[in-house]
Amino acid sequence: MRGHVYRRGSTWTYIVDCGRDPQTRVRKQLTKGGFASKKLAEAALAEVLQSLGAGTHVARDPQTVGEWIDSWLVTVAPKIRVSTLRDYRLGLERVKGRLGLIKLQELKPLDVELFYAQLLLDGHRYGGGLAPKTVRNVHIALRRSLADAERFGLVTRNVAALVKPPVPPRQELATWTADNVRTFLAFVADDPDAPAWRLMATTGMRRGEALGLHWSAVNLKTGKVQINRSLSVVDGELEWSAPKTSRSRRSVSIDPETIAVLKAHRHSQLQARMAAREAWVENDLVFCNALGGEVHPDRFTRAFTSAAKRAGVPRIRLHDLRHTWATLALEAGIHPKVVSERLGHATTSITLDIYSHVQPELDAEAAMTVANMFSAS
């Protein structure tokens, strides 16, 4: 490849001869003008020649950020969960509202930085006044879309990766004590949803994982449960999907008392099935409605909130049963890796970060335990 610069009126232009297209045999050239001096044009020419030689050159593309987002959402839709796609669309609609008309290749880190600040401060025009966590979710969607633009050679760099999104304030987890759990489970023992609540409290299972559980994935002889499906609500509709991450597909052991509760639950379910006869819908669901269909997650959550209030225990969210299990497990000295694997976290570090509130107590206990091993007294 060869190139040269030449004067054009009061400015300078470079031109690069890229040879002929192997299919059309048409000669290809790259050119750019408007440089104030010959030196600037020569520097730009050298940069282009270097990128062409390294195979990293990005051809000029007129599409806007908004156009790229629209096409990217189409390509990524079959590869991600419906709920994730919904979150991406929501976040990227905000991006299009402020940055959509900018040329994709002209988008700068400062544009993105100012956009995030606008979302945090402006309560109306751009759908702003948002919480830091919501803006961070916008950042996650934008960063992923621009990473693919870089991978496809449409941009030279992912500008979102150069921007620091707002950091949400750490919120204290609301959890129950072991006595609270005991009180609640005793109070709801006769509730139709009690077996599901007990399974969540003794395994740290997510709501969707519990409601998506099939009997074919439960071995009551060995006390093993395979978690491989999840039931959730997306835009008001029930959605079946794989668990949240690949590590979320896991096997967990259940204790003898929970096994007994599930055996009794299965017996009751078989009786309900016989009573319903042709009206029964065979879905093989461990937790189902009166006719074998899915339990709506929102109804399930409302029932838990109501039952907890009647039981007189501190108010927590249904998802906090998961946090309760993890906190009690770590406080009991169960190794963080075991806790992480049962929860389905991608890494142990995620577990330790989420449940960092437990660490000071464990640290103090470790200090005393080891010191007592060689104490003179």
3-state SS string for the chain: CEEEEEEECCEEEEEEEEEECCCCCCEEEEEEEEECCHHHHHHHHHHHHHHHHHCCCCCCCCCEHHHHHHHHHHHHHHHCCHHHHHHHHHHHHHHHHHHCCCEHHHCCHHHHHHHHHHHHHCCCCCCCCCCHHHHHHHHHHHHHHHHHHHHCCCCCCCHHHHCCCCCCCCCCCCCCCHHHHHHHHHHCCCCCCHHHHHHHHHHCCCHHHHHCCEHHHEECCCCEEEECCEEEEECCEEEEECCCCHHHCEEEECCHHHHHHHHHHHHHHHHHHHHHHHHCCCCCECCECCCCCECCHHHHHHHHHHHHHHHCCCCCCCCHHHHHHHHHHHHCCCCHHHHHHHHCCCCHHHHHHHCHHHHHHHHHHHHHHHHHHCCCC
Cα Rg, the chain, nearest whole Å: 29
Task: Kindly state whether residues 107 and 228 are assigned to the same domain.
Answer: no
Q: Is 272 exposed, middle or buried (0-12, 13-18, 19+ CB in 10 A)?
A: middle
Question: Residue for token digits 């071995």?
Answer: 219
- Give a yes or no: residue 301 inside a domain: yes
* Domain end call among 162, 195, 223: 162
Q: In this model, does residue 53 exceed pLDDT 80?
A: no
Q: What is the mean pLDDT of the chain?
A: 88
Task: Kindly state whether residues 30 and 151 are assigned to the same domain.
Answer: no
Within 13 Å of residue 86, how many CA atoms lie on the same side as its CB?
A: 10
Interval 221-243 mean pLDDT: 89
Count the domains in the chain: 3
- Give a yes or no: residue 281 inside a domain: yes
CA distance 180 to 312: 9
The reported pLDDT for the residue numbered 208 is 95
The reported pLDDT for the residue numbered 87 is 92
- Any residues with CB less than 8 A from the CB of 303 and at least 6 apart, and which? 191, 193
> Which H or E run contains 86?
helix 82-99
Lowest mean pLDDT among 152-156, 202-206, 215-219: 152-156
Q: Residues of the chain with pLDDT > 90: what percent?
A: 59
Q: In this model, does residue 224 exceed pLDDT 90?
A: yes
Interval 279-300 mean pLDDT: 95
Report residue 156: phi and psi, to 5°.
-85, -20
- Give a yes or no: residue 232 inside a domain: yes
Task: Kindly state whether residues 289 and 196 are assigned to the same domain.
Answer: yes
Q: In this model, does residue 177 exceed pLDDT 90?
A: yes
For the segment 300-320, what is each residue's pLDDT rounded down to a tens digit?
Answer: 999 999 999 999 999 999 999
The reported pLDDT for the residue numbered 160 is 96
Task: Kindly state whether residues 158 and 28 are assigned to the same domain.
Answer: no
Cα angle: 261, vertex 267, 270; to 5 degrees = 140
The reported pLDDT for the residue numbered 352 is 86
* Domain end call among 319, 337, 360: 319
Which residues partner with 288 through β-bridges?
A: 294
Task: Kindly state whether residues 203 and 270 are assigned to the same domain.
Answer: yes
The reported pLDDT for the residue numbered 198 is 97
For the segment 87-140, what is each residue's pLDDT rounded down to a tens digit?
Answer: 999 999 999 999 999 999 899 999 999 999 999 987 555 555 788 999 999 999
Q: Residues of the chain with pLDDT > 70: what percent?
A: 90
Domain with 37, as residue range(s), is 2-54
Interval 10-39 mean pLDDT: 76
Lowest mean pLDDT among 64-68, 163-167, 208-212, 243-247: 243-247
Lowest mean pLDDT among 113-122, 239-248, 291-300, 333-342: 239-248
* Largest pairwise CA distance in the chain: 93
The reported pLDDT for the residue numbered 242 is 81
The reported pLDDT for the residue numbered 9 is 85
Task: Kindly state whether residues 277 and 313 are assigned to the same domain.
Answer: yes
Task: Kindly state whether residues 189 and 313 are assigned to the same domain.
Answer: yes
Q: 210 with 200: CB under 8 angstroms?
A: yes
Report residue 166: phi and psi, to 5°.
-65, 145
Question: Residue 281: which CATH number?
Answer: 1.10.443.10
Query: Higher-confidence residue: 308 or 331?
Result: 308
- Give a yes or no: residue 310 inside a domain: yes
Interval 21-46 mean pLDDT: 77
The reported pLDDT for the residue numbered 366 is 67
* Domain end call among 270, 296, 319: 319
